[in-house]
């Protein structure tokens, strides 16, 4: 049976591990970028309350709350 071939099983297992590793690092990068963005907002005094949050994920400003679009236009 083809699916019992150890070489194919090993190859499949390696590809699954590689995909999971890439997904893990991508999500870590997104969280790191978001945290950095929020810290920069705090430092510059623009993060007044929860309505002014703008999260930058994958290069896109994800706006949270009603002040988000206004703030995204200013930056």
Predicted pLDDT at 70: 54
Its pTM surpasses 0.75: no
8 Å CB contact between 38 and 55: yes
pLDDT, residue 72, reads: 54
Structure tokens at 44: 């510059």
Which neighbouring-strand residues pair with 63?
54
The pLDDT value recorded for residue 21 is 82
pLDDT digits (tens, 9 = 90+) for 5-63: 666 666 767 777 778 888 888 888 888 888 888 777 776 665 444 444 555 545 455 55
Give the pLDDT band of residue 2 (cuts 50, 70, 90): low
Q: Buried (b) or exposed (e) across 22-49, using 16+ Cβ within 10 A?
A: eeeeeeeeeeeebeebeeebeeeeebee
Q: Tell me if 62 sits within 8 A of 52, measured CB to CB.
A: no
């Amino acid at each position: 049976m083809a699916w019992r071939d150890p070489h194919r099983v090993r190859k499949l297992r390696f590809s699954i591990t590689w995909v999971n590793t890439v997904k893990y690092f991508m999500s870590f990068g997104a969280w790191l970028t978001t945290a950095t963005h929020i810290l920069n907002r705090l430092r510059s005094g623009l993060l007044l309350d929860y309505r002014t949050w703008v999260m930058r994920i994958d290069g896109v400003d994800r706006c949270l709350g009603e002040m988000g679009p206004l703030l995204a236009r200013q930056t």
